[in-house]
Structure 1
Amino acid sequence: MHNWLLPEYIEDLLPPVAWRLEYLRLSTLNMFRTHGYELVTPPMLEYLESLLTGTGSDLDTRTFKLVDQLSGRMMGLRADITPQVARIDAHLLNHQGVTRLCYAGVVVHTLPEGMNRSRELLQVGAELYGHSGYEADVEIQRLMLDALALAGVSDLYLDIGHVGVFGGLMAYGHVPAEKEAALFQALQAKDTPAIRDLTHGMDEATRAAFTALPTLYGGVEVLDEAFQILPSSLEITQALEQLRAIENELKGSAKINIDLAELRGYHYHSGVVFSAYAGTHTNVLAQGGRYDEVGKAFGRARPATGFSLDLREIATLFWRSPGSKGILAPYLKNAKLAQKIQQLRSSGEIVVVELAGHEADRSELNCDRILLDNKGEWEVAPLTK
């Protein structure tokens, strides 16, 4: 057995992708800072009950677990940073007004979330606490789209849904709780025959509404259809009005699709949910939503909305070649040469000092220019093969 083999769906990042990732991390966090978001860095490990509080069973199965040798209690390697940030907002900061927080850190999953996806992610995200209006959802979604654009992602698609539509239908039709999970799965799969079977015996209005949900996908015209097809309960009407307001604010920022059968994170989210895609890429690049109830488990429920993305995957998928290569410099004890090298490095240039005896290895140094002595002055010239 080779001792250099890594576990499945775990990989090294090599140059230049590793540098690209670090550049994106710093650039993204700096953009968040300019929008008033403050940086927090939660720990990789926490006691399991704190790590999974209020998140539902889906996160439980994705979390690596181990025993703390000091306390004997179960601990977990975080699979999501959002609950940790909610804990920080509830217990450590305890602000009364609007709080904007951001983060960037590694998370690990027990299983990959899709084909050819890593189990080790660099999760970057932003959370906004303290404002229940749709304006906070718009701010977060704009920030997400800006972060993707900063990473070089173009041809963006934004899918928006609202878990209040499903919840409102459940309440309107007095649907038994034992049918909730099955209906949830059928709607996520857009399995119309299964939806018909599960709604058999319900009143016609409820059954027609559940059956129509998978078809209510498309542009803003979907909302007009939904107002006509779905029952006019307060919860459903408010959800549709929020979606219309958000679409109106964000149109032009991305190609927006309304998906009323989108229930990702239903037991975790409490309102608008959204996902971002790009071009022909089938994987979700970024996602988020409103989760007003998550802080309740920490003793302080607050309106909350946020998003996260895996910057590691984005850096790999949307890698752009660096603008310039390095400058090769000879290894000499020369004051003017040392001063020139320092000036170039201070201006952001890469300067690689060539060690004696390795002239044949120049092709591996990623340099396209060289420092040459021109009558006592060191000048940058093209590096010829």
Structure 2
Amino acid sequence: MSDINNWVLPEGIEELLPDEALRLEKIRRDLIDLFASWGYQFVIPPLIEFLDSLLAGTNSELALQTFKLTDQISGKTLGIRADMTPQIARMAAHHIKKCDAPVRLSYLGTVLHARGAQIEKSRSPIQLGAELYGSQHIKSDVEIIQLMLEVLAVSAIQHVHLDLGHVGVYRGLAQQAGLTTSQEGELLDVLQRKSSDEVVELLETYKLDKKWVNVFVQLLQLNGDVTVLEQAKKVLKLGDASVQQAIEELQEIAALLQQSYPSLPLYFDLAELRCYRYQTGVVFAAFVPGFGSEIARGGRYDNLMIEQGEQVRSATGFSADLKVLTRLMAVILDEQAKEIILAPDVLDENLQGLIRELRTAGKTVIMQLPDSSKQPNHTALIAKVNDKWSVS
């Protein structure tokens, strides 16, 4: 007899039972259709690759999240994908060489994480996303944000608010203040803890001019609605043209989004830089009340294309976890109310024709099996009345 304890799944790995699996599959189909309607070609990268190519151009955090194993054929180290974005960038690098126009790609598939980011998060997310390559214009970022919002709408997720930032603000200030690469990274980590005292304490060890200490402390306070951007232009006037340009890009994005989504709450945080080492421009994330982390996120990441050996460097995109979207659906499919038609176990050509007709029309028809005395749950029966099969 099997030991039931052997059925326990690893932490962060889950199975989907019929109701949730059906909801997820319905959204999956709808989202692939949505991507196609926006001109985003669907691609499927490999689940497993040689580790060197899988991690090309990525950071150490992704390497830690990647499951590794030895290929029994080549003897080389393989990696199971933990993030599909670098794979899509590599695929696009080859595609862009053959096409001068911007390239739009979409994807959806399971990834595997060696460690869970948070206790409640899955280690086997179903990652979905879209990437736009070959355009530096601000409207390409807006298009990606709009598509992300449409993904959430198709997934029946309500009360979404959007957070935006720009890594160019911090990067420009850090460079102008004369921080070394290691100092820039250390300060970044402290800024994420939102503690002005820690910022001051760290910068004092750098012997930084007091005016720059004040700038980085004030950076922590630059968060709020769109009006904070005008305030930022004044507070960060010590920053060079790149800093001002980054703020102006955020203002332009806000204006374009407000035209398309006038009721969408926008929130700006110029010190929120969770993807700083990966992104190069605007960054954004979608949130809903009652959920502790973002439900979708993205931004511009031009440098990754360089790592893939491509001269066309512009890239922007977003990603989300389909499992999270499924669980946050505002509209739950009522499977109990769905019509289920029970057909008798009878060899009859006319009966089989009716069953095929009903299934083609999208109806659910199940057969009464001969070795089952109990009828399965159903809402209607196929019966023969006056020599004619019909649903009753």
Normalising by structure 2, what TM-score?
0.92
Deviation at residue 47 of structure 1 after TM alignment: 1.3
Matched, 1:69 2:85: no
1:94-109 matches, within 5 Å, as: 94=97, 95-109=99-113
Deviation at residue 377 of structure 1 after TM alignment: 3.3
- Distance, in Å, in 2 between the alignment partners of 1:249 and 1:325 is 45
Q: Per-residue displacement from partner, 1:306-344 (whole Å, max 9, x unpaired)?
A: 001110222133271246242222221223322221111
The 1:340/1:161 distance shift into structure 2, 3 A limit, reads same
Q: Which residue of 2 aligns with 1:308?
A: 319
The 1:278/1:359 distance shift into structure 2, 3 A limit, reads farther
Which residue, 274, 277, 300 being the options, matches 2:287? 277
Name the one with the larger strand percent.
1
SS of residue paired to 2:127: strand
Q: Which residue of 2 aligns with 1:377?
A: 388
SS of residue paired to 1:87: helix
Gap runs ≥5 in structure 1: none
**1:130 partner amino acid:** G
Matched, 1:350 2:364: yes
- Distance, in Å, in 2 between the alignment partners of 1:229 and 1:376 is 85
Q: Which residue of 1 aligns with 2:248?
A: 241
Deviation at residue 92 of structure 1 after TM alignment: 4.7
Contact persistence 1:91–1:298 (CA under 8 A): no
- Distance, in Å, in 2 between the alignment partners of 1:373 and 1:195 is 80
- Distance, in Å, in 1 between the alignment partners of 2:384 and 2:193 is 68
- Distance, in Å, in 2 between the alignment partners of 1:336 and 1:279 is 54
Range moving further from structure 2, 49-58 or 246-255: 246-255
Which residue, 48, 51, 69 being the options, matches 1:48? 51
The 1:253/1:348 distance shift into structure 2, 3 A limit, reads farther
**2:129 partner amino acid:** G
Contact persistence 1:154–1:279 (CA under 8 A): no
SS of residue paired to 2:12: coil
Aligned residues: 378
Q: Which residue of 2 aligns with 1:295?
A: 305
Deviation at residue 357 of structure 1 after TM alignment: 4.8
Gap runs ≥5 in structure 2: none
Deviation at residue 93 of structure 1 after TM alignment: 5.0
Q: Which residue of 1 aligns with 2:115?
A: 111
Deviation at residue 97 of structure 1 after TM alignment: 2.0
- Distance, in Å, in 2 between the alignment partners of 1:372 and 1:178 is 77
Q: Which residue of 2 aligns with 1:142?
A: 146
Matched, 1:199 2:207: no
Identity rate, percent:
39
- Distance, in Å, in 2 between the alignment partners of 1:146 and 1:334 is 48
Q: Which residue of 2 aligns with 1:84?
A: 87
The 1:355/1:207 distance shift into structure 2, 3 A limit, reads same
SS of residue paired to 1:284: coil
Contact persistence 1:158–1:274 (CA under 8 A): yes
Q: Per-residue displacement from partner, 1:234-255 (whole Å, max 9, x unpaired)?
A: 1111111111111111122632
1:166-177 matches, within 5 Å, as: 166-177=170-181
Matched, 1:334 2:348: yes
Deviation at residue 300 of structure 1 after TM alignment: 0.8
Deviation at residue 7 of structure 1 after TM alignment: 1.0
Q: Per-residue displacement from partner, 1:42-92 (whole Å, max 9, x unpaired)?
A: 101111121111111111111111122222222110000010011011125
Deviation at residue 24 of structure 1 after TM alignment: 1.2
Contact persistence 1:172–1:206 (CA under 8 A): no
- Distance, in Å, in 2 between the alignment partners of 1:321 and 1:248 is 36
Q: Which residue of 2 aligns with 1:28?
A: 31
1:152-171 matches, within 5 Å, as: 152-171=156-175
Q: Which residue of 1 aligns with 2:257?
A: 250
Which residue, 5, 8, 14 being the options, matches 1:5? 8
**1:215 partner amino acid:** Q
- Distance, in Å, in 2 between the alignment partners of 1:239 and 1:294 is 20
**2:276 partner amino acid:** Y
Normalising by structure 1, what TM-score?
0.94
Which residue, 134, 152, 156 being the options, matches 1:130? 134
SS of residue paired to 2:129: strand
The 1:233/1:96 distance shift into structure 2, 3 A limit, reads same
- Distance, in Å, in 2 between the alignment partners of 1:105 and 1:188 is 30
- Distance, in Å, in 2 between the alignment partners of 1:75 and 1:268 is 23
- Distance, in Å, in 2 between the alignment partners of 1:355 and 1:234 is 75
**2:137 partner amino acid:** G
**2:212 partner amino acid:** T
Matched, 1:321 2:333: yes
Q: How large is the Cα RMSD of the aligned pairs?
A: 1.7
**2:125 partner amino acid:** L
Which residue, 208, 213, 225 being the options, matches 2:231? 225
